[in-house]
Structure 1
Amino acid sequence: MTLTRFVRRAYSLRLALILQVLVPLALLLAAATWVGMKALESSLEERLEEDVQLIARAIRLPVSHSLEREEEEAVRQALESVFTIGRVYGAYVYDRRGEQVAAVGAVKPSAAERNRLQALAEEGRDTGEYELIEGRQVYSYFIPLVDTGGRISGLLQVTRRQSDFADYVSGIQRQAGLAALLTTLIIGALVLVGHRTAIGRHMAQLSHSMAQVEAGNRGHRAREQGPRELRQLSGAYNQMLDSIQRAEQELLERQRREAELERALASSKRLAALGRLSAGVAHELGTPLSVIDGQSQRGLRDPDLSPPASKAFRRIRSEVDRMSQIVQQLLDFGRPSNGEWRMLTVRDLVQRVAHTQMESDRARGARIDWVPPAEDGLMVRGHPMRLEQALTNLVQNAIHAANGGCVRIRWGRVGDRVALWVEDDGPGVPEGDRARLFEPFFTTKPVGEGTGLGLAVVHGIAQEHGGDVRLLPDSELGGACFRLSLPAADEQQKDEGSS
């Protein structure tokens, strides 16, 4: 297992290039050199044999004339002349009987050798062969000698050591081997340098990019440079990182939405339970309050009632009225949206709520303005009383915040929805209270002036109708600005409502 890991770690792209390219190339070059040297060896051997043959033919004529005139000294001089060339081992002259006439660098032949020489002389043709002389392997070339009459008068033998051939070929082989080795080294160096220039540095940059991503730099991307394949690799790597980043973002977004849905579901469950509790409490308080109010009215009708008692009964009725309002808000909060939905014109809804609030004792001297949009006649589909109650709660909150100032109601189309804006010129909502505005029983009013259910009821009604309500960050009047958004009625719903 350790050896396997070591091999896997050591087996790099450079090592693969050496093993799979350079080594086969070196073996191929060595094989080609060997085949070439074999061919060269054969060619050189033939050439060296031709050199011996040329020397023999060159001295054939003077040796033949000297032998015919029986001038042995002249024969010897002719034989010695071949040594000036420096390529001959020995030269021999034999008569027709195979007897040695003259020899330079040679030994006398044996009886068996004389018989063979006599046979070669009688054949009268040139012959070349390898033989052993004084323990040395030599190449001998035999050429017949003829007199002026054309008769064979003897035999000329010129020899050359075979080691001369071998030494020369060995020298050529060494030079060829060195040349092949040098060529292999040069090619290897060029391949490795080319690998470094064309592939290695780009792979190093890609590895550096991977290391940066691994270190946490998720926004880093590899540079697409180098050969086409490496550019494609870098591009695919960048696309993979982009895909992973998109998948992570989608996962985070999905987790965020799931968390919001879980919070909304939990909030809905809490609100539903709170609504049932509120409805039960309101129902239980309604009957005792009615009894208290009725008894107070009967007490006030007593003609003998003293002024302090009359004042006390009126105070009781005032508090009972306030408690009745709280009970009504509890009932509104816990009441489901029963009843028939129908088409409502937003302009009529706004006018009814505005007129009702201006005529109410709770107006507190505030001025209520409404600003119709350019596209009038906008309609929504919903429960008339519930939508009127939601808008009333928003207007009442604005009146309380304006404290005798200005309240403005605007409406208009926003995409496929109808939005109603209710704003005031009051002090606005503190930043720390904005996140809890729509929680049940949360109020910014002083104790005894609010139950904290008004905006919670608006929020519930908006959700019943597929809309939403939110506090906007800015208001043209400088106070708070609430936006109630509801789905706009389409043409088919308008036609059904008109029919």
Structure 2
Amino acid sequence: MRLRNLIILTVIVPLFVVLVVFSLVAIKSLEDNVRSKLQTEVEIITRALSTSLSYAVARDSPTPLEEALQSAFSFHRIYGAYVFDLQGREVYGLGLGKDLFTAEEIRQVIERDDLYSNYRQHEGWTYYSAITPLRTQDGTVHGVLQVNRLNTGIENYTGFISVVAVLVFVIGAAGIVFSIWWGFRRFIERPLNRLLHVMLLVEDGDRSQRATIEGPAEYRRLASGLNGMLDAMAEKDRDIEARQNREMELEKRLRKSKKLAELGVLAAGVAHEIGAPLTVINGQAQRLARRDVIGDDERAKLGRIRGEVERIVEIVRQLMELGRQHNVEKGELALDQLIQNASDLVEEELEPRNIRLDIDLPSPTPHLLANGQQIVQVLTNLLRNAAQAPDVSHVRVRARTNNHELTLYVEDNGPGIPVDNHQHVFDPFFTTKPVGQGSGLGLSMVHRIINDHGGTIGVFNSALGGAGFEITLPLTETASA
């Protein structure tokens, strides 16, 4: 059942029933009160006239009798006054209603010796008539006095009042019902329908819907509460989406770390096997270069062989470092000092190309628990890669702290790294440099060092236009765990 109908049935209908009963009782009480006053007045007038008429009847003179009866008409609504003898015959009378009582009824009043009154109908008129015996001074009954008061529509008047009251009640009830229906529809049903419409749209998936804050104060609070709930849900959805994205990114980085670890172990094994032959080759080339029987051209070629062998040995060393498990010895270090040490090491590569280095750090400078040498190696490698990229004129290093983590950004305005290569930049031997200018192990070493510190590293397209690297490091040992 609808709320509107429920209110009408449980509140309005019982209220109207109570009002109807109350109105009927009030009208009935009014009618009884009017009748009672009418009867009382007639009886008082009858008793008053009976005293004076008793003398006139006893004297048997028509003149005093006529004067006494005429005096009765000075009272309001007295329309008839008659005197009857003991046999019920008229002695003298004036006005209307002479035949209201029969002779037998008059004799019965004499026998009861008391006033009798009642409503009587005669010739289409309604009277209230009272009959009382007339006594002399010695108490002897000599006749009967009848006083008639015309009921000038008292029943019709009260009936008219009842009809008018019922009509006014019906009209008022209809007006009240219409007012309640209109007010309910405008101030209750319409706001509820608007809120329900918003809820249905949200249920269908449109989370951008918001309720209009208007109408009565209760509905404004309800709409505001609904909007607050939807805003909170939207915020939670954004948090969940961001958390899912972070978890997906973390999962990708974990897979990358596992892949690099496996490659590092394989590379370390290969490097160990290559190391011994390279030592033999380097030794034999050195011995051959010492002989006097060879010429300068051969000795130069042997020197080039030894240089390439040294390069291979360095790559082998890096491979072995990449696959080795490390126990990082950490200490509490200031971030600005670590960045300054790294910038000093790459200053010779930045100045010749007029590359500007901007450092943006929070105040006070954060301290982190790390191995200073390895963190400087990471920063040096990233700054050197930025300095070696073509068309770079601006390099920026900035840091932000969030709870117990430090986020470090290294960015440049160079050509950047294609998006398709973002997932490969930390792979061993992957490089965008020309052949012979890079081993492709630098970023792999950076990834291994950051991973050993319990942090993460990723690549993104910088707002400066080039490549950007995001490093997250724990500030405390607890955060690292």
Common fold: TM-score over 0.5 = yes
Tell whether 2:210 aligns with 1:221.
Answer: yes
Instruction: Tell me: CA distance 1:227–1:68, structure 2 relative to 1, closer, same or farther (3 Å).
Output: farther
1:420: how far off? 9.6
- Distance in 1 (alpha carbons) for counterparts of 2:147 and 2:221: 73
> Which one-letter code corresponds to 2:16 in the other structure?
A
> Which one-letter code corresponds to 1:323 in the other structure?
I
Aligned residue in 1 for 2:117: 128
Residue by residue over 1:428-466, the C-alpha shift from the partner in whole angstroms, topping out at 9 and shown as x without a partner, is: 434436624334332112345433221121232234345
Aligned residue in 2 for 1:429: 416
1:155: how far off? 0.5
**1:261 equivalent among 250, 254, 257:** 250
**1:455 equivalent among 422, 425, 443:** 443
**Is 1:411–1:418's contact at 8 Å kept on the other side of the alignment?**
no
- Distance in 1 (alpha carbons) for counterparts of 2:156 and 2:453: 110
Aligned-partner SS, 2:236: helix
1:353: how far off? 4.1
Aligned residue in 1 for 2:378: 390
Aligned residue in 2 for 1:105: 99
**2:24 equivalent among 22, 26, 34:** 34
Aligned residue in 2 for 1:497: none
Aligned residue in 2 for 1:248: 237
1:26: how far off? 0.7
1:210: how far off? 3.6
Residue by residue over 1:258-286, the C-alpha shift from the partner in whole angstroms, topping out at 9 and shown as x without a partner, is: 32332232222222222212211211222
Q: How does 1:181-196 map to 2 (within 5 A)?
A: 181-196=170-185
Aligned residue in 2 for 1:440: 428
Q: How does 1:274-293 map to 2 (within 5 A)?
A: 274-293=263-282
- Distance in 2 (alpha carbons) for counterparts of 1:351 and 1:107: 137
- Distance in 2 (alpha carbons) for counterparts of 1:312 and 1:284: 25
> Which one-letter code corresponds to 1:41 in the other structure?
E
- Distance in 2 (alpha carbons) for counterparts of 1:63 and 1:94: 12
Residue by residue over 1:132-163, the C-alpha shift from the partner in whole angstroms, topping out at 9 and shown as x without a partner, is: 999x9985411334679996431023568999
- Distance in 2 (alpha carbons) for counterparts of 1:169 and 1:339: 109
Segments of 5+ residues of structure 1 without an aligned counterpart are 1-6, 490-499
Aligned residue in 1 for 2:39: 49
Aligned residue in 1 for 2:479: none
- Distance in 1 (alpha carbons) for counterparts of 2:166 and 2:9: 21
Q: How does 1:141-180 map to 2 (within 5 A)?
A: 141-145=130-134, 152-158=141-147, 166-180=155-169
Aligned-partner SS, 2:422: helix
1:91: how far off? 7.2
- Distance in 2 (alpha carbons) for counterparts of 1:170 and 1:381: 102
Instruction: Tell me: CA distance 1:414–1:115, structure 2 relative to 1, closer, same or farther (3 Å).
Output: closer
1:253: how far off? 3.0
1:215: how far off? 5.4
1:195: how far off? 3.8
Aligned residue in 1 for 2:85: 95
Q: How does 1:304-315 map to 2 (within 5 A)?
A: none
Aligned residue in 2 for 1:3: none
Q: Please, what TM-score do these two structures have when normalized by structure 1?
A: 0.68
Moved more, 334-343 or 181-190: 334-343
1:413: how far off? 8.1
Residue by residue over 1:389-438, the C-alpha shift from the partner in whole angstroms, topping out at 9 and shown as x without a partner, is: 43554465456546xx9999998987697979697x9x543443662433
- Distance in 1 (alpha carbons) for counterparts of 2:398 and 2:227: 47
**Is 1:139–1:159's contact at 8 Å kept on the other side of the alignment?**
yes
**1:118 equivalent among 90, 106, 110:** 110
1:29: how far off? 0.9
Residue by residue over 1:19-76, the C-alpha shift from the partner in whole angstroms, topping out at 9 and shown as x without a partner, is: 233212212211211221221121122134246547857987789858965879x98x
Aligned residue in 2 for 1:323: 312
- Distance in 2 (alpha carbons) for counterparts of 1:337 and 1:274: 16
**Is 2:332–2:367's contact at 8 Å kept on the other side of the alignment?**
yes
- Distance in 2 (alpha carbons) for counterparts of 1:324 and 1:44: 131
- Distance in 1 (alpha carbons) for counterparts of 2:109 and 2:40: 21
1:184: how far off? 2.4
- Distance in 1 (alpha carbons) for counterparts of 2:298 and 2:383: 37
**Is 2:211–2:227's contact at 8 Å kept on the other side of the alignment?**
yes
> Which one-letter code corresponds to 1:274 in the other structure?
L
**Is 1:140–1:158's contact at 8 Å kept on the other side of the alignment?**
yes
Instruction: Tell me: CA distance 1:463–1:95, structure 2 relative to 1, closer, same or farther (3 Å).
Output: same
1:330: how far off? 1.5
Instruction: Tell me: CA distance 1:332–1:138, structure 2 relative to 1, closer, same or farther (3 Å).
Output: same
> Which one-letter code corresponds to 2:103 in the other structure?
P
Instruction: Tell me: CA distance 1:422–1:296, structure 2 relative to 1, closer, same or farther (3 Å).
Output: farther
Instruction: Tell me: CA distance 1:106–1:408, structure 2 relative to 1, closer, same or farther (3 Å).
Output: closer
Instruction: Tell me: CA distance 1:346–1:487, structure 2 relative to 1, closer, same or farther (3 Å).
Output: farther
Residue by residue over 1:278-316, the C-alpha shift from the partner in whole angstroms, topping out at 9 and shown as x without a partner, is: 211211222232233334444555655689977775665
**Is 2:129–2:148's contact at 8 Å kept on the other side of the alignment?**
yes
Number of residue equivalences: 453
**Is 2:345–2:380's contact at 8 Å kept on the other side of the alignment?**
yes
